[in-house]
Amino acid sequence: MQSMTGFGRGTHTTDEWQASVEASAINRKQAEIVANLPRSLQSLESRVRQATLPHISRGRVQLSIRLEKTEGSSSGQIRINAELAKSFESAFSELSLSIGRPLLPTPADFIRQPGIIEIDESDSIDPEKAWEVIAPALEQAITNLNAMRATEGKHLQEDFLSRLGKLMAFTQTIADHAPSRPERQRELLLKRLADMQISLASDDDRLAKEVALFADRCDVSEELTRLHSHFTKFHEYTHSAEASGRSLDFLCQELFREFNTIGSKANDALIAQTVVEAKTELEKLREQVQNIE
């Protein structure tokens, strides 16, 4: 079991180049890979995604990839687009005439303007050679990311099992209390009749029929059976090596449905209160399940 959130970093260095990759993951219903590459290496984006997707089934993974010259190797060259710089300054002159006062560009304006001053760091490396440097760093980053996600997933698993134990205890309380509900209804009916000074034998067929109908309406044995089945599957999924987030989320919905049905059928204060507590705990469980891959 793995969480969908985590962080991992990887680096790889050759004689001339150093690649660094940072991978961060957050919750998403589907798998989404976003790769930030140097502009000259955008052609590698598809390859980066293909290398990452087999390790991610759910979640949004942000990959920040940098490629730099190693220390001691020949550094990149600074390129200046003189024509663009002149056009940029000319635009300021026209703007000055338009507003009627001098307006001169500062050095910072020239630096911020794309294309005027550029540092050529990665243009000199072929994308295929760049991939040879990036791939090991990417693999390391994903490995570290998944290690962190697995650690968090272990903590979530412990929390799931604890909450599942509470839900099973609530279910047992309902199972122990539910069978006595028809007999209490029978006693309640007799008391009401007595309060109204209506005499009715305790073995009267009409009373037995009313109690039988009540017992059928408030019977929750099917719901209890399904709850136990869902608990068993939930336990299996929490120990599965496969991505189980969607399955666990579905089971949470089914558990909620069964508890809700019990609450509406039981017609009993103790069972209703137990159902409320169970649904509160279940909502906490479902919020945690949203973090599982």
Query: For residue range 97-145, what is the model confidence (pLDDT) as tens digits?
Result: 888 888 888 888 888 888 888 765 544 678 888 999 999 999 999 999 9
The DSSP element (H or E) to which 66 belongs, if any, is strand 59-69
pLDDT tier at 187, thresholds 50, 70, 90:
low
Q: For residue 227, which of 159, 290, 274 has the smallest C-alpha distance?
A: 274
What are the percentages of helix, strand and coil residues in the chain, rounded to 5?
A: 65, 15, 20
Q: Decide: pTM greater than 0.75.
A: no
d(CA 244, CA 249): 9
Pairing of strands 59-69, 31-36: parallel
Instruction: Report the share of the chain in percent with pLDDT over 70.
Output: 82
Question: pLDDT tens digits, residue range 44-100?
Answer: 999 999 999 999 888 899 999 998 887 655 555 677 888 888 888 898 898 888 888
SS3 sequence, 187-223?
Answer: HHHHHHHHHCCCCCCCCCHHHHHHHHHHHHHCCCHHH
